[in-house]
Structure 1
Amino acid sequence: MTILSNIAIVLVFACIAQLVLVADCRKGQGKKGKKDSRGTESMERAPKPAPIQPSYRNEKEQKSPSVKGVPKGRFVTKDKTQCTWVAIGEDVFTLGVNCKKGGDNFDCEYKAIPTDCPEYASRVKAYWKQIARSLKKQKALCKDPAALVKAGMCKRAPKTAHFKLSNTPSKHPESATHPPPSPSGKSCTEYQKQRAEEHCSESWSSLCTLFFSMVQGGEDC
């Protein structure tokens, strides 16, 4: 009987221990479930990062370089001819030259597309300085249709990047007396506007009028 009672007591303690272990396991699982649910909720509530949009760059986005002001200047050739020049345009530039020596003066126009020169976009000011030097070095200014006015930086550029004579030079001999007024009675300013309308589009008319007035150097029409 004593042995049976001892076995019964051991079994009772074993059952109690088993129940305690089961209860502890259930508590641990409950706490873990709460933590997991809280972690899931916090992840769901966390704001999603904004998607990174790829940036695209168009290489042709850059426009033709703009020239601040009108490129212009003056120079004196080796034979003491005093000349002024001015360039106007957007893609195709017209380079007007007006020269005076003694009692005679003459003017002409050169044309080119400076943007055809690869170096033009990054060195606009240097380009026009080199054009001015090239004009001064011309041996037959306004006379040789085959001669090109080149910028040193554009040696490998196509011919369209170099200025070429586009019209026959016109001579204007000076006279001691003023010439009689034209039959139409137009003033010099009106004449310049008329030339601007003939050679330039409507959007460039005002700039072309300025161009012709600068080329003529204030002389009578």
Structure 2
Amino acid sequence: MSVLSCSFILLLILLPVICEAKHPHHEGKPDKPHPPQTLRPRPVPAYGRLTTRGGHQCTWRTSGRVLVTLLVNCSTETPAANHRYWCRYSGEPGLCRAVGVTTGRYWKQLMAKVRKRSNACEGEEVLRVKTCRRGPPEAHMTLTQRGGEEEQEEGDAAALQSYCSDGWSSVCSFFIKMFEG
């Protein structure tokens, strides 16, 4: 056998070893980075209850998966009057990288922020939580609407709970009072 054919056979035998050394897959290091895995959007908690620092009893519910809306309805009872108010926040918490992994922690921190207030709808208009502190502005829940009404008599409040839904209570109370005289 000639030196050339021996060299060729040796090259064929050593080629896989040489290629293996150039591409160190066996060491767990890929030659090019993998694209980031896309996380499935985790479900947003649908509803809950909370009590603010001021003793206001509130319920909250969410809607949406990408653009999430948080609706908070609260009431306070004093000997003179019953005060009800509501507010709506919206944002895209999915834009926070950490939210996809820790959805539960995000919502616990968000509700803790609301609980620390005397009035759930007053204070900072943007609810920022530690889980999403580096997220873009659209990721934070921002106050979009708020409203409330004061009811002087218990009877009026009961008539409004049985005839009107929360969103239409002010319009509905106008018509009820008009018909009652």
- Alignment counterpart, residue 161 of structure 1, candidates 117, 139, 149: 139
2:89 counterpart of 1:114 = no
Between Structure 1 and Structure 2, how many residues are aligned?
129
Structure 2's unaligned 5+ residue stretches are 1-33, 169-181
Q: Distance in 1 between matches of 2:97 and 2:126?
A: 18
Look up the SS of the partner of 2:113 in the other structure.
Answer: helix
Q: Distance in 2 between matches of 1:188 and 1:75?
A: 23
Contact 2:58 2:74 in 1 (8 A): yes
Q: Distance in 2 between matches of 1:176 and 1:95?
A: 28
Greater RCO structure (CA 8 Å; 6+ sep): 2
Report the alpha carbon displacement of residue 167 of structure 1 after superposing the two structures with TM. 0.9
Q: How does 1:41-120 map to 2 (within 5 A)?
A: 59=35, 62=38, 64-67=40-43, 70-102=45-77, 103-120=82-99
Q: Distance in 1 between matches of 2:164 and 2:120?
A: 26
Contact 1:93 1:111 in 2 (8 A): yes
Look up the SS of the partner of 2:142 in the other structure.
Answer: strand
Report the alpha carbon displacement of residue 120 of structure 1 after superposing the two structures with TM. 0.7
- Alignment counterpart, residue 150 of structure 1, candidates 104, 114, 128: 128
Q: Distance in 1 between matches of 2:64 and 2:152?
A: 30
Over alpha carbons, which structure has the higher Rg? Answer: 1
Report the alpha carbon displacement of residue 73 of structure 1 after superposing the two structures with TM. 1.9
Residues 175 and 166 of structure 1, relative CA distance in 2, 3 Å threshold: same
Residues 175 and 137 of structure 1, relative CA distance in 2, 3 Å threshold: same
Report the alpha carbon displacement of residue 61 of structure 1 after superposing the two structures with TM. 7.0
Q: For residue 102 of structure 2, what is the amino acid of its counterpart? A: R
What per-residue deviation string (whole Å, max 9, x for no partner) do you get for residues 152-182 of structure 1?
Answer: 2111112211111101323252632247x89
Report the alpha carbon displacement of residue 63 of structure 1 after superposing the two structures with TM. 5.5
* TM-score, length-scaled by structure 2: 0.59
Look up the SS of the partner of 2:120 in the other structure.
Answer: coil
The answer to which structure has the higher helix fraction is 1
Report the alpha carbon displacement of residue 150 of structure 1 after superposing the two structures with TM. 2.1
Look up the SS of the partner of 2:145 in the other structure.
Answer: coil
Q: Partner of 1:26 in structure 2?
A: none
* TM-score, length-scaled by structure 1: 0.49
Q: Distance in 2 between matches of 1:140 and 1:157?
A: 26
Q: Distance in 2 between matches of 1:161 and 1:77?
A: 24
Look up the SS of the partner of 1:109 in the other structure.
Answer: strand
What per-residue deviation string (whole Å, max 9, x for no partner) do you get for residues 11-42 of structure 1?
Answer: xxxxxxxxxxxxxxxxxxxxxxxxxxxxxxxx
Residues 175 and 139 of structure 1, relative CA distance in 2, 3 Å threshold: closer
Contact 1:105 1:174 in 2 (8 A): no
Contact 1:107 1:171 in 2 (8 A): no
Contact 1:108 1:165 in 2 (8 A): yes
Q: Distance in 1 between matches of 2:113 and 2:93?
A: 14
RMSD: 3.1
Q: Partner of 1:44 in structure 2?
A: none
The answer to which structure has the higher strand fraction is 2
